Each structure stands twice: as structure tokens, then as C-alpha cells.
Amino acid sequence: MAARTYDTEQANWQQFADTRIYIGDLADDGIPKSMGAGFALLHPGDVMEWVPSYDEFIVVLSGRFAVDFEGGSISAGPHELVWVEQGEPVAFRADGERVLIAFGTNPPWQSTEETRASAAMFRPLAGSPVD
């Protein structure tokens, strides 16, 4: 199939640590991929500190999304795209309100050794936290 669509109900959702940050992975649908994709839902006050082992783009669907990094911080709203480079420590957070994002990674984010080593930080959810 040359193209397909996904929504938040089709994602395999996981909770990040003891936060209200949820990652909806789309890489586990049985179709081989050269990149990863998914959704994330972040609530104000929770932070995901991370060192990406992949390049990532993030599209804000609703709310305001912030990325803190050494030397600065950026914030993006709906219809804006954020680019995050591999190997630099970042902190992802909602900027004042709940935020829903879509993301793409290269290579697939769960395929890297660094992400697999962090697997204990993720807990599977039975369904989508997006209402």
C-alpha cells in the first residue's frame, strides 16, 4: 500500500514514567518502516527529559509544546513544526495547557539501543488517553 492514515485510536499507547505524558506509537502495526511515527499527549507540569537517539520532527496539533535544551527553549503552537536533533539532551513539556502532537523519527524511535535500554520507563495503556 502506497499510503495510509492513522488516528490516535490506532496507536499503541504507553505512559512515560510517573507522569501524565503518553506516547502513542504507530511503529508496531506489522508494516516494516524506515522511520517511526506516533502521537504524544502531555499535560502541564509534567516533563519528559530525554536524549533522542534519532532525528525527530514534531507537529503540534493542539495546545502549546515546549522544548528546553542547553542554551535555550522553544515553544510552538498548532500547525507549527519542531525539529529535534539526535544526541542532544532535551526536556519536552506542555507550555501552559494540555498539548497533543504528532511526531516522526528516523530511525524508528523504539529501534535504537538507547531507547530499548529505557524501556522500563514506559508502561503500556489499555486504550487511548486522547478524548
**Which tens digit of pLDDT belongs to each residue from 52-96?**
999 999 999 999 999 999 999 999 999 999 999 999 999 999 999
Q: Which region, left, alpha or beta, applies to residue 30 given φ > 0 means left and ψ of -120 to 50 means alpha?
A: left
More confidently predicted of 75 and 33: 75
The pLDDT value given to residue 118:
84
Count CB neighbours of 52 within 10 A. Answer: 19
What is the model's pLDDT at position 1? 67
Q: Long-range contacts of range 80-85, CB-CB < 8 Å, 24 or more positions apart?
A: 81/57, 82/57, 82/58, 83/55, 83/56, 83/57, 83/58, 84/52, 84/55, 84/56, 84/57, 84/58, 85/52, 85/55
Q: pLDDT confidence of 29, banded at 50, 70, 90?
A: low
Domains and CATH numbers, the chain: 35-82+91-125 (2.60.120.10)
Which carries the bigger pLDDT value, residue 118 or residue 125? 125
Average pLDDT (24-39) is: 80
Whether 28 has a pLDDT exceeding 70, the answer reads: no
Give the Cα separation of 41 and 79 in Å (integer).
16
Give yes or no for a contact between 63 and 93, defined as CB atoms under 8 angstroms apart. Answer: no
Question: pLDDT averaged over the chain?
Answer: 92
What pTM value is reported for the model? 0.92
Sorting pLDDT into bands at 50, 70 and 90, what band is 123? very high
